[in-house]
Homo-oligomer: A and B are copies of this chain.
């Protein structure tokens, strides 16, 4: 496999001054060894590592690059705002325009607030639910990712008993497990946090059972608790008006981030009028939360998603990719499990208990200029056009062939 001398040098330097050389979801340690840790530049759906290798990118920054990197109308809006200024002693008119746009766009939203991280938004949803209900217990799905604050980070290192004292777990799409958690919550239920689909790492993705989703809504109505949709990862990728719009279930509160400003740091909390007073009562803020440039970028992003029909475009590209990979796998004697929405592909292999096959495919594809992820859902963006997908598929066909030479078939 290729050498990545610049990447190796940077890793060496990083190990001196960054604990473990890197941290969080951008750490390449759990990826096949030929993956680069450091990137140099990008445009649309193409990224180039520090050794000059270009990839068709199916991670899109783990979501943020919804329209592709360096999108003209988003960058123009950001530049225009930057010339005026970014970080003042209060907001600019962009914040009001943006809150109006969220209220207009998201079916269940009567109001919006903005922050920086997805974690800021999910955390605020919990706080608002607790302030509104004056109750403490919150149900979350076992294995779901809702951020990296002490209450939700996947690691238990440095986490103390109090951090998760009032969380109860259920299994996604499993009403019985929800009911068991409700038993435990008794009359202390503040809310239920749910992802629009099950997008846990390492495993098959699972779409929500509409009956189950409606049951969650009914439970929250009966108990006057908050149904909280964590739309940080999927928001604006599946549908325009909130990811449960298509199954007709309105949450009370939703958390957004990642893709809403096409790479600019922004998060949003939206909610309905039942939670307005509670949202007003909590104190949550940050030094850069009113910054105008990301808000201008978000306004332009949402406009472009609508005008360029970005969701339909991602769906077409995602479908082409999924069908292509599936045909290739079969042709080479492999069987794939492709799950979740086509815009957020998860590709795993049948008969791959140690993940050697999926890691092998990813490594071979990477070597040929296609950046896949072997254990996290991927992201198609609107800059993936038919040509990009066809080129990616030419390369993955070679990758499957190489994998077959390496591993044999099912």
- Number of copies of chain A assembled together: 2
Is B36's CB under 8 angstroms from A90's CB?
yes
A32 to chain B, nearest CB (A): 14
Q: Which residues of chain A from 140 to 161 have any CB-CB distance to chain B below 8 Å in the complex? A: 147-151, 153-155, 157-161
Is B130's CB under 8 angstroms from A160's CB?
yes
Is B84's CB under 8 angstroms from A285's CB?
no
Is B283's CB under 8 angstroms from A154's CB?
yes
Is B283's CB under 8 angstroms from A127's CB?
no
Given A23-B280, A130-B160, A131-B158, A286 contacting B89 (CB threshold 8 A): no
> A290 within 8 Å of B by Cβ?
yes
> A117 within 8 Å of B by Cβ?
yes
A395 to chain B, nearest CB (A): 17
Is A88's CB under 8 angstroms from B283's CB?
no
Q: Which residues of chain A from 109 to 128 have any CB-CB distance to chain B below 8 Å in the complex? A: 110-113, 115-120, 123, 126-128
Is B154's CB under 8 angstroms from A18's CB?
no
Is A162's CB under 8 angstroms from B158's CB?
no
The 8 A CB mask of A76-114 against B (1 = contact, 0 = none) is 000000101111111111011001101100000011110
Is A19's CB under 8 angstroms from B93's CB?
no
Is B155's CB under 8 angstroms from A283's CB?
yes
The 8 A CB mask of A18-34 against B (1 = contact, 0 = none) is 11101111111000000
Is A42's CB under 8 angstroms from B282's CB?
no
> A231 within 8 Å of B by Cβ?
no
The 8 A CB mask of A226-268 against B (1 = contact, 0 = none) is 0000001000000000000000000000000110000111000
A37 to chain B, nearest CB (A): 5
Q: Give the complex CA separation of A57 and B92 in angstroms.
A: 16
Comparing A9-17, A202-210, A307-315, the segment that makes contact with chain B is A9-17
> A278 within 8 Å of B by Cβ?
yes
B residues near A337, Cβ cutoff 8 Å? none
Apart from A19-B113, A69-B87, 11 more pairs, CB < 8 Å: A10-B93, A19-B111, A27-B90, A40-B92, A115-B117, A116-B116, A117-B286, A148-B284, A153-B283, A265-B265, A265-B287
